[in-house]
Chain A
Amino acid sequence: MHSPKPNLETDWPSELYRVLKAADVKQMSYVPDAGHSQLIRMFSADNDVTTNVLTTEEEGIAIAAGAWLGGQRSVLLMQSSGVGNCINMLSLSAIGRFPLLMLVTMRGEWSEFNPWQVPMSRATQPSLEAIGLKVMRAETAEDLVETVEAAASLAYDSDQQIAVLIGQRLIGKKKW
């Protein structure tokens, strides 16, 4: 059967799902973001992956550590405003050298309507780096899929703590 090549510009969430499944991710936790909605739907429909909706993003850092203690790989989805909620809990990943993969959709940096998103947007990368995470960024769909694949390997195979920032330009303007 011939299957058409996916249109990455619109279907990058499906590609991320494919990459994360290939990396044997078994748990996914999230605070929703519009940019993550398709990926959340796909994982939620997957009986082989346990998903947790969180009240605040740092819960996902702790769940990820517990999952690893129990032998499972996980991924954590959030938007940039949630990074600020995570900082102290990231001590756990950093000092325990727990594999961590966070996918962060950026707000407040490109065609942003809501000025309240801007300060945490500005603080996202510096604060993650200050607590010891490696930050990777993607601005195009093609780059994003490749970056997440590399980040997953770095996290799970090399015990690294990685945040992949997904540029707001890539996600598109939020409709108001």
Chain B
Amino acid sequence: MSNPSQLDRRAAVAALLRDRKNTLVVSGLGSPTYDLHATGDRDDNFYLWGAMGGAALIGLGLAQAQPSKRVLALTGDGEQLMGLGGIATIGVARPRNLDIVVLDNQHFGETGMQASHTGRGVDLTAIAVACGFAATATVRTLDEVQGLAKTIAGPADGPRLFVIKVLAENPPRSLPSRDAVFIKNRFRAHLGFAAA
């Protein structure tokens, strides 16, 4: 059992994405979507409000379609736990341009802070290692997040999964558009694709 982290999730995400440059970001439903939006709304953000378990796999399809760009799936422990099989699928696909960052508060924050599996011994990085990921790490401090941001900016031999242990609290919500068609078309336009 790990000690609860005191790291503020908004500060962690701000530090992680401060120098994101051209990285394409997909955020998992709930707090990660609010956290991403709180760093500033951008055309190259794709926010999920549902499709639980899908964030990293949307990242996979995107990474495969855009091999020259880095793709980051920013999600939560609950969302990633629903997509555990996807870690195996991504491990087999072995994209070199996909990182999964799990903001792990060890709780289901959106539904009343019920404890999740990650506070009870389940280690997502160990699962990623077992699925053949190229690199994994767990970080707990802002300094470590800054180091992680540098790691993510560098090249990889395959998919990577990083866990940022954060304090279990719900900061004020920062709400992006819930219109998925708008967000989709804006994202595609950013990459040079016309809407149908």
Bound together: yes
A residues neighboring B (CB under 8 Å)? 26-27, 50, 52-56, 58-59, 61-72, 74, 88-89, 91-92, 95-98, 157-159
Q: Is the interface of B mostly helix, strand, loop or mixed?
A: helix
A108 to B178, CA, bound (A): 39
With a cutoff of 8 Å between Cβ atoms, the chain A residues found around residue B58 in the complex are: 62-63, 65-66, 69, 92
- A-B CB proximity, top 3 nearest: A66-B61, A70-B65, A55-B85
Whether B151 sits at the interface, judged by CB under 8 Å, is: no
Whether B26 sits at the interface, judged by CB under 8 Å, is: yes
With a cutoff of 8 Å between Cβ atoms, the chain B residues found around residue A159 in the complex are: 196
B-side interface residues, number (CB < 8 Å): 37
CB of B183 to closest CB in A, whole Å: 8
With a cutoff of 8 Å between Cβ atoms, the chain B residues found around residue A158 in the complex are: 196
With a cutoff of 8 Å between Cβ atoms, the chain A residues found around residue B64 in the complex are: 27, 50, 52, 63, 66-67, 70, 72
* Residues of chain B from 50 to 87 with CB closer than 8 A to chain A in the complex: 50-55, 57-66, 83, 85-86
CB of B93 to closest CB in A, whole Å: 5
Pick out which of these stretches binds chain A: B116-124, B138-146, B153-161, B187-195: B187-195
Whether B135 sits at the interface, judged by CB under 8 Å, is: no
CB of A160 to closest CB in B, whole Å: 10
Q: Given A56-B85, A96-B181: A66 and B51 within 8 A (CB)? A: no
Whether B130 sits at the interface, judged by CB under 8 Å, is: no
With a cutoff of 8 Å between Cβ atoms, the chain B residues found around residue A56 in the complex are: 85
A55 to B51, CA, bound (A): 17
Q: Which of B65, B86, B93, B183 contacts A26 (CB 8 A)?
A: B65
A66 in contact with B26 (CB, 8 Å): yes
A52 in contact with B193 (CB, 8 Å): no
A96 to B54, CA, bound (A): 14
Q: Which of B50, B92, B191, B192 contacts A92 (CB 8 A)?
A: B50
A66 in contact with B180 (CB, 8 Å): no
Q: Which of B51, B88, B196 contacts A62 (CB 8 A)?
A: B51
A63 in contact with B61 (CB, 8 Å): yes
* Residues of chain B from 150 to 194 with CB closer than 8 A to chain A in the complex: 180-181, 183-184, 187-188, 191-193
CB of A28 to closest CB in B, whole Å: 11
CB of B22 to closest CB in A, whole Å: 13
A114 to B88, CA, bound (A): 29
CB of B94 to closest CB in A, whole Å: 11
Beyond A59-B57, A66-B63, A69-B46: 12 further Cβ-contacts under 8 Å? Answer: A50-B64, A54-B85, A55-B88, A58-B53, A59-B54, A65-B54, A66-B65, A67-B62, A70-B64, A70-B65, A92-B51, A96-B181
A63 to B64, CA, bound (A): 9
With a cutoff of 8 Å between Cβ atoms, the chain A residues found around residue B65 in the complex are: 26-27, 66-72
B52 in contact with A66 (CB, 8 Å): no
A17 to B186, CA, bound (A): 32
Whether B89 sits at the interface, judged by CB under 8 Å, is: yes
A97 to B64, CA, bound (A): 21
A91 to B53, CA, bound (A): 12
What would 23 A/B residue contacts be, using CB atoms closer than 8 Å? A52-B60, A52-B64, A52-B89, A53-B92, A55-B85, A55-B89, A62-B55, A62-B57, A63-B64, A65-B51, A65-B61, A66-B26, A66-B57, A66-B59, A67-B61, A68-B61, A69-B58, A69-B65, A70-B61, A72-B64, A88-B51, A88-B52, A96-B180
